Amino acid sequence: MVLRRPERAKPPVEPVTLKILVAGGFGVGKTTLVGAVSEIRPLRTEELLTEAGRPVDDLSGIEGKHTTTVAMDFGRITLRADLVLYLFGTPGQERFWFMWDELSEGALGAVVLADTRRLEDCFAAVDYFERRAIPFVIAVNCFEGADRYPAETVRQALDLDPDVPLLLTDARDRESVKEVLIGVVRHAMEQAAEHRRTVTG
Ligand SMILES: Nc1nc2c(ncn2[C@@H]2O[C@H](COP(=O)(O)OP(=O)(O)O)[C@@H](O)[C@H]2O)c(=O)[nH]1
Ligand SMILES: [Mg+2]
């Protein structure tokens, strides 16, 4: 009988790392979303809302919120052994838009978080990603007490292209947020495949 050499240990897979942006209006749940899924202690730069900031930051509907993200949230999630996402929560307030161009460099895609009570707060993010052809999904963060609208109504209000996925989520819930992130990756892959088809005819 011939002794077979034991199987060689498989070399560890070098994971693909992808960068995903999390955008949306003030208080929509970006910091919460990144914190819910991140395996590393999420980095966040928050500062207390100062009295001076109050006239600028519209707090109606989110009275419980006392901190605001001034720079960004950063987190990491391993979706599969070979697929790691780095999450960058981008401040949705107008005065931080100067950061978006740098943050979106090399991003695979984006999640635009939306709150149906303040849908207009995500218009800027939708415009931004559409203009730069960065694949994005809309994730409606379902706050208690907010009216539930049919997806079609939200789509129309945002004037979304039919191929942009619209998902319902709870930014506090890890599994729900993971579904959204998988949705972004899938959508970005589909867009890339679509692009290749049109380029190669
Ligand atoms: N009820 C509920 N509250 C949420 C949800 N997501 C975020 N919040 C709360 O809403 C507030 C704003 O969330 P935050 O993540 O700081 O918003 P950001 O400004 O987009 O980073 C915080 O007090 C959160 O605890 C949610 O899905 N449901
Ligand atoms: Mg935040």
Q: For 7-41, b where at least 16 C-beta lie within 10 A, e where not — what string? A: eeeeeeeeeeebbbbbbbbbbbbbbbbbbbbbeee
Q: Is 172 in the pocket of ligand 1 (CB under 6 A)?
A: yes
Q: Is 144 in the pocket of ligand 1 (CB under 6 A)?
A: yes
User: Which ligand is in closest contact with the Cα of 92?
Assistant: 1
pLDDT in tens, 119-161: 999 998 999 999 999 999 999 999 988 888 899 999 999 999 9
Rounded to two decimals, the pTM is 0.83
Report which ligand 1 atom has the smallest distance to the Cα of 169: 27
First vs last C-alpha separation in the chain: 57
pLDDT in tens, 74-95: 999 999 999 999 999 987 666 6
3-state secondary structure (DSSP) of residue 198: helix
User: Which ligand is in closest contact with the Cα of 144?
Assistant: 1
- Side-chain-facing half-sphere of 173: CA atoms under 13 Å: 11
Q: Is 26 in the pocket of ligand 1 (CB under 6 A)?
A: yes
